[in-house]
């Protein structure tokens, strides 16, 4: 029997990715499943779809902030809305693929999400800001930066995003259990129901 | 002490209004609160904001349908996606204001929501389709239609929508407990937390 898994498509630029990532892990562990990460270049997809992130009304943006703080409070997460937003996420996404080679993808993504969404550290958009994370995880920062910046990694990231779009992923955080797709931090209960069925 | 209440801004053209309306009532009852309805002309607001309802990608629309069926299944509601969608909702909205005069607003809105979202009956866009609902609730259908179609009711509906927009309501279903705003069928848990605080 293969170990059941949950696919998570993520981008650090997505607030809800932060929440989903944090709330997903205990669920995955509870069911003895594995978390499989897929970087998804949201900016790239949005550019191709003429999406304008900041087009929403003031009332809606104000509500969204309130809603995020409610989630943080309910789940006791030290979330803060960063001053710099949106950010360019491609280096973090590339970095995750480099760290995958060391078996440290999940730890790296978690550290980057915390740096940005808890500490408001927008320095992670550059390799200079990511190198200390790699180093803390025991990875040579020169190797980390060279591997992240390589053409191979760039092609892998493009393929990860293209494959996701082909699978029907139109945004993040998107999760799959088998072929069942779940979108957003507020569908984790449905995702867990499906995971329970899949692992029964 | 005044009885605590939950404001619900609704439009029959909104699928999530159906779910919120159904799921809200037991919560409101549990806390000894009152449900106060506010018709909200979504089409009118959208027209003024250049919103195109069907502009979403096929992948997103497909997901949305799947998500709705998951909600129906989870909560054992006989929901069906109607063949005719979207619909013009102004007569239902007007009708609710007429029925308010008889103290039958909630019962009328529930019946109209069920007719459309459970039985797929798009006839409710016309008074001919709404008259039997009024009659079943013991209201003279001629009075119902004349009152619904009156200029006074039209002005009242416009005011209800304008007041909502001024309060920050950018979509439906929108709920308020005091000044705290909650959007969507998937924030009923937050809404209930707030209601519990307000009635403690």
Q: Say how far apart CA A108 and CA A35 lie, in whole Å.
A: 14
Of A108 and A57, more confident: A108
Q: Which residue of A has its CA nearest to B168?
A: A59
Q: Does A133 touch chain B (CB under 8 A)?
A: no
Residue B54 has pLDDT above 70, yes or no: no
Distance from CA of A14 to the nearest CA of B (A): 17
B59, A170: Cβ pair inside 8 Å? yes
Global pTM reads 0.91
The pLDDT tens digits for A87-126 are 999 999 999 999 999 999 999 999 999 999 999 999 999 9
CB spacing of A67 vs B183 below 8 angstroms? yes
Q: Which string of DSSP letters, residue by residue, matches B42-85? A: HHHHHHTTT--GGGS-HHHHHHHHHHHHHHHHHTT------SS-
Q: What is the pLDDT of residue A54?
A: 58
Q: Is the pLDDT at A72 greater than 80, yes or no?
A: yes
pLDDT exceeds cutoff 60 at B51: no
Query: Is the pLDDT assigned to residue A191 strictly greater than 80?
Result: yes
- Give the pLDDT of residue B56: 77
Interface test with B, best of A16, A52, A67, A172 (most B CBs within 10 A): A67
Token readout for B157 is: 């509906």
pLDDT in tens, B58-68: 899 999 999 99
Q: Do A63 and B168 touch (CB under 8 A)?
A: yes
Q: What is the mean pLDDT of residues A78-86?
A: 94
Share of chain A above pLDDT 70, in %: 95
In 3-state terms, what secondary structure has residue A121? coil
Domain count, chain A: 1
- For residues B49-57, give the mean pLDDT: 63
Residue of A nearest to B191 (CA): A70
pLDDT at B107: 98
Closest by CA to B53, choosing from B87, B93, B91, B19, is: B87
Higher pLDDT, A34 or A46: A34
Domain hosting residue A117, numbered range:
5-199
Chain B residue nearest residue A187, CA to CA: B186
Does the pLDDT of residue A43 top 90, yes or no? no
pLDDT of residue B48: 66
A168–B62: do the CB atoms touch at under 8 Å? yes
Reported as a pLDDT band with limits 50, 70 and 90, residue A200 is confident
Q: Band the pLDDT of A3: cuts 50, 70, 90.
A: confident
- Neighbour tally for A6: CB within 10 Å: 24
With vertex at residue B65, the alpha carbon angle to CA B59 and CA B68, rounded to the nearest 5 degrees, is: 140
The residue of chain B nearest to residue A174, with distances taken between CA atoms, is: B63
**Which CATH number is B61's domain given?**
3.40.30.10
Q: What's the confidence (pLDDT) of residue A12?
A: 97
- pLDDT score at A47: 72
For the record, the structure tokens of B5 come out as 């209440």
Residue of chain A minimizing CA distance to B64 = A183
Q: List, for residues B136-176, the tens digit of each pLDDT value.
A: 999 999 999 999 999 999 999 999 999 999 999 999 999 99
pLDDT of residue B3: 80
Pairing of the two strands A34-39 and A5-10: parallel
Across all residues in chain A, what is the average pLDDT?
94
Percent of chain B past pLDDT 70, that is, above it, reads: 95
- Across the range A47-64, mean pLDDT stands at 75
B59, B171, B183: residue with CB nearest A168: B59
Mutation target for B interface from A16, A19, A52, A66: give the one with most B CBs within 10 A.
Answer: A66
Of A46 and A115, more confident? A115
Q: What does the pLDDT look like over A155-177, one tens digit per residue?
A: 999 999 999 999 999 999 999 99
Angle made by CA atoms B116, B77, B131, in degrees to the nearest 5: 25
Reading the block at residue A75, the tokens are 């789940």
What is the nearest CA distance from B55 to chain A, expressed in angstroms?
11
Question: Does B66 lie at the interface with A, CB-CB under 8 angstroms?
Answer: yes
A186·B186 Cβ contact <8 A: yes
């Amino acid at each position: 029997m293969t170990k059941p898994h949950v696919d998570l498509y993520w981008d650090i630029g997505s607030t809800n990715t932060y929440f989903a990532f944090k709330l997903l892990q205990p669920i995955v562990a509870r069911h003895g499943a594995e978390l499989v990460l897929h970087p998804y270049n949201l900016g790239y997809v949005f550019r191709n779809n003429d999406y304008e992130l900041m087009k929403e009304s003031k009332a809606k943006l104000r509500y969204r902030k309130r809603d995020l703080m409610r989630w943080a409070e309910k789940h006791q997460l030290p979330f803060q809305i960063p001053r710099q937003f949106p950010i360019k996420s491609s280096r973090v996404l590339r970095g995750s693929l480099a760290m995958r080679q060391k078996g440290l993808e999940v730890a790296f993504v978690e550290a980057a999400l915390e740096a940005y969404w808890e500490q408001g550290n927008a320095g992670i958009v550059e390799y200079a800001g990511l190198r200390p994370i790699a180093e803390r995880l025991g990875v040579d920062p020169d190797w980390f930066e060279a591997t992240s910046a390589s053409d191979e990694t760039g092609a892998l990231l493009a393929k990860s995003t293209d494959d996701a779009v082909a699978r029907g992923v139109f945004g993040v955080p998107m999760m799959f259990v088998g072929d069942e797709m779940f979108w957003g931090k507020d569908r984790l209960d449905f995702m867990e129901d499906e995971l329970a069925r899949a692992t029964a």
